[in-house]
Amino acid sequence: MKEKLYAIPVNDAFSGDCECPVCLMRKTLEDAAIEYTMGPSYMEDDTRMQTDEKGFCQKHMEMIYTSGNKLGIALILKTHFDRVIRETSSLSEKTDEKKGLFKKTASDGKSPLLSYLEKLNSSCFVCERIGQVFDRYIDTIFYLWKSDSTFKERYTHSNGFCNEHFRLLMEKAPDSLRGSDLDEFVTITRQLYQSNMERVRDDLAWFIDKFDYRNADAPWKNSKDAIPRAMIKSNGIIQNDK
Ligand SMILES: [Zn+2]
Ligand SMILES: [Zn+2]
């Protein structure tokens, strides 16, 4: 059963003190996917065919760039460019120059060139590699909620979630949970989200108050890293040094 396979990384994420354990699970997958992309695999034909076709989204292109292997990046980008140039020039030739780019020919009502570019601009080798396993991780949260009281305890005492993963958990819960399992999950997840958003909001408030000269000698309490923690809650950004 796949859910059992993923129980360890899911439990690990919920054991830490991250402001969103789901973000932490995703970040671990993301780092592994970047490492894979820039490891020996980019010289393998089937991986290269996929990176040539899909390319990378803005975020992952930046992560790949900062990963350091400049020769590898240049090789991957060169054959990706070869593919994009070949596809766009052949689709442009098929487009009637005078009637223009906007002539609707494909089944989705768009010209083949625009359809190709839309697909290209929304595809990313790293996002797709993360996506399937990430979905299984989410299923595993629900599986463990039903079957593992230790996990349930861990979940209930976590630091809550970012906006996006609160949405995701609320949306997906009815697909995997029923009856009292579902009711309890929804109630606890809502409370967790709300109370932990308030906690981080209060940390931000004290961070602001510390700028008042009258508080110069007051303790920071839990506010020193309020901004990076708030960035996880609001945008799912986990900084590498955090
Ligand atoms: Zn998150
Ligand atoms: Zn991506």
CA distance linking residue 223 with residue 231, whole number of Å: 13
Structure tokens at 76: 């991957």
DSSP code string of 116-181: HHHHHHT--HHHHHHHHHHHHHHHHHHHHHHH-HHHHHHHHTS----HHHHHHHHHHHHHH--HHH
Question: Is-contact 64 34, C-beta < 8 A?
Answer: yes
Establish if 241 belongs to a structural domain: no
Predicted pLDDT at 180: 97
Predicted pLDDT at 110: 78
Predicted pLDDT at 1: 59
Predicted pLDDT at 5: 84
| Whether the predicted model's global pTM rises above the 0.85 cut | yes
Establish if 240 belongs to a structural domain: no
Q: Which ligand has the minimum distance to the alpha carbon of residue 129? A: 2
> How far does the centroid of ligand 1 lie from the alpha carbon of residue 68, in Å?
27
pLDDT, averaged per 10 consecutive residues of the chain (242 residues), comes to 83 95 97 94 92 97 93 96 96 68 61 94 97 95 97 97 98 98 98 98 98 95 96 95 56
Q: Which ligand has the minimum distance to the alpha carbon of residue 60? A: 2
Establish if 242 belongs to a structural domain: no
φ/ψ of 219, rounded to 5, equals -70, 155
**Domain count of the chain?**
1
Establish if 64 belongs to a structural domain: yes
Angstrom distances, CA of residue 52 to CA of 85, 141, 195? 11, 34, 45
Establish if 219 belongs to a structural domain: yes
Predicted pLDDT at 242: 44
Predicted pLDDT at 100: 56
Predicted pLDDT at 68: 83
Predicted pLDDT at 10: 97
Question: Is-contact 88 117, C-beta < 8 A?
Answer: yes
> How far does the centroid of ligand 2 lie from the alpha carbon of residue 41, in Å?
17
Which domain, by its residues, includes 109? 2-235
> How far does the centroid of ligand 1 lie from the alpha carbon of residue 158, in Å?
12
Q: Which ligand has the minimum distance to the alpha carbon of residue 64? A: 2
Predicted pLDDT at 217: 95
Q: Which ligand has the minimum distance to the alpha carbon of residue 162? A: 1
Predicted pLDDT at 193: 98
Burial per residue of 6-16, b for 16 or more beta-carbon CB atoms within 10 angstroms, e otherwise: bbebbbebbee
Establish if 81 belongs to a structural domain: yes
> How far does the centroid of ligand 1 lie from the alpha carbon of residue 236, in Å?
5
- Helices (H) and strands (E) counted in the chain, each on its own, are 12, 0
Establish if 226 belongs to a structural domain: yes
